Structure 1
Amino acid sequence: MGKHARLTGKRAAATSGSGGAVRTRPLPIRSTVLLRRPVDIWHKPALSAVVALGIPEFTLLALGRMDLVLYTSAGAMCALYAHGLPYTARARTLMWVVLGMVASLGAALTAASLTTSVPLLVLLASLVAAVHKMVCDATRVGPPGNLIFTFISASAFFVPQRLGQVPFHMALALGAGGLAWLVCMAPALVRPRGPERIATARALEAAAGLLRSGPAAADGPGGPDRARHATAAAVNAAWQTLFQVPGRTPAAAAARAGLERLLVRAESALAAPEADTAEAERYAAWARDLRRGRPLPEITLTGAQAGELAGITAEHADHEQAAGAVPRGPAPGRPRGLPAVLGRLAPGSPLLPIGARVAAGCALAGWASMAVGVGHPYWAVVTAASIYQANTTLSWQRALQRTLGNLLGLLLFTALLPVIHTGHLAMILLALTFQFCAEASITRNYWLGSVWVTPMALLLTEFARQLPARTLVTDRWIDTVVGAAVGLACCVLVTNRRAADRIEIALDQVAAAEAAALRLLDGYGGPGNEDVRDGDGVPDDGARRIGWARDRLAASLMELREAVEVSAGEWWQRAVPEERVALAEQRGHRTLARLVRRLSAPAPAA
């Protein structure tokens, strides 16, 4: 591993990721229920879901067919996805989300029509839930991830069904999914470049925070601070977004180029030697202008930065001519699309133990719920599926949040029963209100969102057939407790032993990316001249190569940080090689700063 060679002796035994000491980790409680600031675009999925759900529900109310709400809701719930993507990528992603939802619904309804064996249906629902988890993680579809797919399909497994009804019910879901697609794409008529402007604004805001804190003070014995990591992550996310924006017309290409120039300036904060309040305020002002739809400012770039953007423009043209816009990768030749997804699911993938957890936990939770007398234990399956996160600590937090939120949601549902029993119109209005409140609060903390999700989910199942209130509430409470307890037990017992291996792989990737970057820097600057701030002497092709090296190193550092966080959250795991990780991150971020500095001149006043 070159610079990051293994430690030896007792220290290696304590820290090595390949056979060192095993350590346990206490599970947090207080931090699990703390509220955070809401995500800046929470209102977009909230309003989209309300419209996509409301139109079919009011239509079914007028037709007197409220028994079909579950099927239209399957497609309408797709409106919760892809709101952070530019509209071209959003259209493509939502299409796959809708098709995946309809396919899952069709599998569940077909199984329900062919067998009435509850234990078998629980097993099938659990296997489908595991597939949802692995595919959503592999595709990185984003919030709300696998949960909506699993909720709809698990419910459908226990809906009485005839085989001849399945095509019609799938058609309803597909139609509602098409409506959800239109609702999510409608804002493009008003702000066609909104998503990429917001992504760039986030990068500028993160860079402003880094400049206020002083980037040079970020490197210490403990490695880079949160501000530096947050800035690198925000900049990388913005590049990923911009590279999915097509520039088929001169106006579109010019708008994208303007955002890229802003992003290059934001990225230069990673190379700033000290705090710069004036520059930070300038970045913050640009971010506000982006969010408010104001014209883009004129930005001055160095010759090397301009060369890099010329290379990016050429890369855009190559990809759009070949197969449409694709996410920006850290280097040419990196697998994308379906090959990348299949690679993340290949044998040895860390997603496979998570899939095994979901399948085992959901099945045992459903069967345990049956054993205590619940006739349709789909809620236990959904609860178990919902708590599985990247590691045991996060799963523990989600289990606690889910249990607390469901209990409070059941109390809210019980208090509103007199209103619910007034008729379907009141039920629709309450369901839409609950959906909006869930999206408004779930990014603050999952338990708070669950308070609203629980009564909404109960209402969706009540449209087809009403159960006695006491039975409904009791069954859901039993399912919640059993699902959370059994699911968490499986999570603790089935530990992800590959999480520590992922750190070793990530360390190798960081070392390789750093070595390649240093060779490139030496080639263009010469020994002892790598840290000059004026990049004008770098040729255009060299600027493009430096940009690729920067992307590769940034992506490798983020993969390392994610791998460490996942492994650190496993309660029973080989010890994280903390010293090696800290050293790799420190050197990696310093090399990253040198790459950025090679492309950056001192920022001129705007």
Structure 2
Amino acid sequence: MVVPLIVLVVIGRVDLAVYATFGGMTALFGRSEPYRLRARSVSVAAVGMLGSIAFGLVMAALGAPLALLTLGLMLLIVVGVLLISTMGLFPGTPLFFVFAYTVCAQVPTEPDQVLPRLLVGLAGAGFAWLVTMSGWLLRRAAPERSAPMFKQLPRQPRVNLVAYRDGRVWLSIAQMLVGVVVAGGLAILVGIGHPYWAVVSVVAVLPPPGARHSTSRAFHRIFGTAAGVVLTALILLPGPPIWVLILTIAIGQFGAEILVGRHYGAALLFITPLALTVSHLGSPAPVSVLLVDRVVETALGGAVALVIVVVTRAGLARAARRREALPG
């Protein structure tokens, strides 16, 4: 994450940092996978991230109205969940695709700027791919006796070409579609300045396909985001120089990658400063307004997602009791 951002600062194009950052989020995928499988996962993730950036750029260049942006978001969620479920990607949520689309669609963009900005995203994704796969070279070059020094790579992602037939996948899609429409609509009605944060919060809180519908997980994610906002305030309110913002993004990416598979609430302590700093670079706004909007919209999106989790869990429990009550 650091190298592309430093290059942009050196050439005086900090305005493009948001696209390099989203491309660099490719590195969040493929963790703990053998390199022959990781190459596939990271490549698919790069396609997903670049597709989301491109989709957002096109919407921005068209000056798409809210209705079209919403339809685009719903389409992205459907495609994102199906892509992740089919290719066995982890993290198993389209959160980062949604984040890239919503932010890129909000940054004013002229038609002739679409390709250069996408190429910056491509460069960020390409560099992230190389760094993510660099461990393969280290393992190949190391002598046999040093093998124990390398961590085990136990994750075995499986391609499931019939994931589109899985009811759990479509349940997850339905939850996210309902959640983003309700949360985004409420945020607009209330008049919050960054309604897409409510949408991102919904996707962050809702469980991926097949995961347990736990209210504790939802609270972990809500409180993790709120704590992340406080941490971001300590960083952004003093008005730090650009190198501090780059360092914040880099540390945020690192912490997210380390923790996202272990405790999503703790990972949000890093994801939130990463997200807010990227948003601030893409569309500079008064920091206090950005932070207040983030807290309010996190609470709004989290509440909507929590209601969906509770209702879904109750519905699944009723369905299970009915099946048990059937004779035979």
Q: Shift in Å at residue 134 of structure 1?
A: 3.0
Residue pair 1:118, 1:376 contacting (<8 A) in 2 also: no
**Larger proportion of helix:** 2
**How many angstroms apart in 2 are the aligned matches of 1:357 and 1:575?**
22
SS of equivalent residue, structure 2 residue 319: strand
Q: Is the 8 A contact 1:387 1:399 kept in 2?
A: yes
Q: Does the 8 Å CA contact 1:73/1:176 hold for their aligned counterparts? A: yes
State the TM-score, normalized to the length of structure 1: 0.48
Aligned partner letter, 2:319: Q
1:271-316 C-alpha deviation (Å, 9 max, x unpaired): xxxxxxxxxxxxxxxxx9963369xxxxxxxxxxxxxxxxxxxxxx
Structure 1, residues 154-192: CA drift from partner, whole Å, max 9, x if none?
A: 222222222222122111111211111111111111114
- Is 1:374 equivalent to 2:192 in the alignment? yes
1:404-423 matches, cutoff 5 A: 404-419=223-238, 421-423=239-241
Give the Cα separation in 2 of the matches to 1:456 and 1:95.
22
Partner of residue 590, structure 1: none
384 and 71 in structure 1: CA distance in 2 versus 1, 3 angstrom threshold: same
Deviation at 1:92, TM superposition (A): 2.7
Shift of 1:87: 2.0
The partner residue of 1:292 within 111, 134, 149 is 149
> C-alpha distance in 2, partners of 1:437/1:86?
21
1:573 aligns to what? 319
Identity %: 29
- Structure 2 equivalent of residue 88 of structure 1: 36
1:316 matched residue in structure 2: none
Q: Distance in 2 between matches of 1:430 and 1:144?
A: 25
Superposition pairs of residues 68-467 of structure 1, within 5 angstroms: 68-143=16-91, 145-192=93-140, 291-292=148-149, 340-341=160-161, 343-346=162-165, 349-389=167-207, 390=209, 394=213, 396-419=215-238, 421-467=239-285
Partners of 1:293 and 1:116 in 2: CA distance: 49
What is the deviation of 1:436?
Answer: 2.4
The letter of the residue matching 1:436 is: F
Give structure 1 regions of 4+ aligned residues with deviation exceeding 6 angstroms: none
Residue 29 of structure 1 aligns with which residue?
none
Partners of 2:281 and 2:57 lie apart in 1 by 17
Report the TM-score when normalising by structure 2: 0.86
Output the amino acid matched with 2:274.
Answer: M
Superposition deviation, residue 361 in structure 1:
0.9
Q: Report which of the two structures shows the higher radius of gyration computed on alpha carbons.
A: 1
Unaligned runs of 5+ in 1: 1-52, 195-254, 256-287, 295-326, 329-335, 498-569, 579-606
Q: Residue 71 of structure 1 contacts residue 173 of structure 1 at CA under 8 Å; is this kept in 2?
A: yes
Structure 2: any 5+ residue segments left out of the alignment? none
Which amino acid in the other structure matches residue 353 of structure 1?
L
**DSSP-derived class of the 2:194 partner:** coil
* Corresponding residue for residue 59 of structure 1: 7
TM-superposed deviation, 1:422: 2.8
